[in-house]
Amino acid sequence: MKARQIITIVSAACLLAAPCFFSACTPPPAAPKTAAVQPLDMPPGATWDGVYFNPMWGYLHIVAQGNNFEGRWKRADESKWGEMTGTITKDIARFDWKEYTIGMVGASGTRSGKGYFRYTRPEGDNIDDVLKGVWGYDDSEIDGGEWDSIKQRNKQPDLKSVGGEAEPSVGGWN
């Protein structure tokens, strides 16, 4: 009888200690991936406010207030829409984004992450300004893909014109 009690106690102790033992073997979570970009001066006369177009992402509306900005887009195929908020340092804008699948509710219909844009002006005359960017999922700024957009002339940003039926906000200025 004593042998059974000892085995039971030892087994229980092993079961209780197992999570502690195995967690010590688990590597710590990886640090978020951040792009190593250094801000440069903006092109002469350039402003972040505007509407930018990409064939996949559609029209991205950006409104800046001081060193902060908010943006919204609706994909060209109208399957998803999203919003971003972030900070601007010269020609670099870093942002948090959320994208919502139209017609889906709940966690499976929402993706989020981080990213950055660099505001650029190609060489030449009568050339449109461009945002060259990269986005990532969750806490990573760089593991998702590229996002380049051309600034549209004579189009004013209208954040309220972009969104879905239920318009949650990342932290925006609705």
Write out pLDDT tens, residues 130-156. 999 999 999 999 889 999 999 999 999
Integer Cα distance of 128 and 122 in angstroms: 7
Alpha-helix residue ranges (DSSP H) falling in 101-145? none
Point out the least confidently predicted range of 75-84, 108-117, 156-165: 156-165
Integer Cα distance of 112 and 125 in angstroms: 38
Q: With a cut of 60, say whether residue 57 has pLDDT above it.
A: yes
- What pLDDT is attached to residue 166? 44
Domain ranges of the chain: 50-161
- What pLDDT is attached to residue 97? 98
pTM: 0.76
DSSP for 13-51, please give it. HHHHHHHHHHHHHSPPPPPPP-------PPPTT--S-EE
Q: With a cut of 80, say whether residue 25 has pLDDT above it.
A: no
Intra-chain end-to-end CA distance of the chain, in Å: 71
% of the chain exceeding 90 in pLDDT: 66
- What pLDDT is attached to residue 167? 42
Q: With a cut of 80, say whether residue 162 has pLDDT above it.
A: yes
| Phi–psi pair at 47, nearest 5 degrees | -135, 150
Q: With a cut of 60, say whether residue 80 has pLDDT above it.
A: yes
Contact present, 77 and 57 (Cβ < 8 Å): no
Contact present, 147 and 57 (Cβ < 8 Å): yes
Model pLDDT for residues 95-108, shown as the tens digit of each residue: 999 999 999 888 88
- What pLDDT is attached to residue 106? 84
